[in-house]
Structure 1
Amino acid sequence: MRIFNIILFIVCVFGFTVFAETIDYNELKSIADNLKQKEEMLNKKEAELNKKEQELKSFEQSLIEKEKELIAIRAKLEELYNKIRVVEDENLDKLAKVYGSTKAKSAAKAIVKMELDKAVSLFQKMAPMTAGKILTEIANIDSEFASKISERLTPTKNKLK
């Protein structure tokens, strides 16, 4: 409708007689109708784009909320993990004291049955003399296991840097 008004304004400015000679009424009506159809099509497309924009904003807000939930869950998991680590460290300290006060041969029999990582952590908590005696007894029972423990306890170049 705006375009039709603009065309009408142009007609008024230049005088109807001059314009009427170059374009007849039917052509003018055809141009106006064509422009009106294009304007309606553009309005429809604009409405569709606005709708999609609102959907995207809604989706973005949903993602932001999910991210906040995940951050909160992660924080809780990290807190629980840290609590577990503290308890495990306390338990390893107690276990190291227990094995330190038992005979090396008895301690070695029990430690050989442990997972390698747990055994290494346990040896790191022990006094060097006690660890050495127990490791010697482990070597008598399972030399490969004793070797693996020794490897893990030995600092590497990467750890020294």
Structure 2
Amino acid sequence: MIDPSKFLPLFRILNRVNQDAYMNVALTLLRRSGVEVLGRPLWISSSVFLDNSGPGSISFGDRCVVSDAVKILTHDFSLDRIAEARGDLPPDEELYRRAPVKIGARAFVGLGTVLMPGVTVGADAIIGAGSVVTTSVDAGDVVAGNPARRICSTDELWDKRRSEFDVRKRRS
């Protein structure tokens, strides 16, 4: 299986020249590596870390955005050392958890976010930069922090901050 975290950085220059071409290549390679791609994500950064532990372990929804330096983890060995220290686990065995991560349609995952195993980011949700997401995020929610907590709904955020933004043509 191809490791997406190894090949995506190779396409950074292509992204600077032609974002559509970058996304076409990236999505093709992500699909071939077992990542589930539903529709056409708007943006998946070339610096994303994908802990792709098998087909279907990571899913990207239509028109979602995954920003720079995001880490998507699908496995967890954190209790392994505790289990061994307690004598609950022989030294030749390990305790682990694997769980898929799903990012819904039109969801936005901010710079440097960590998504832990088993997290589903609902459609239209926004994850603030630098967040550590340990539980699933409901559709239309805005979360931020470590651990990530609900801040407001996307409708509330729109009403509060829309006037701060300008409109322009998308890069191609």
Assess same fold via TM > 0.5: no
Bigger CA radius of gyration: 1
Superposition TM-score, scaled by structure 1 size:
0.22
Structure with bigger helix share is 1
Structure with bigger strand share is 2
Superposition TM-score, scaled by structure 2 size:
0.21
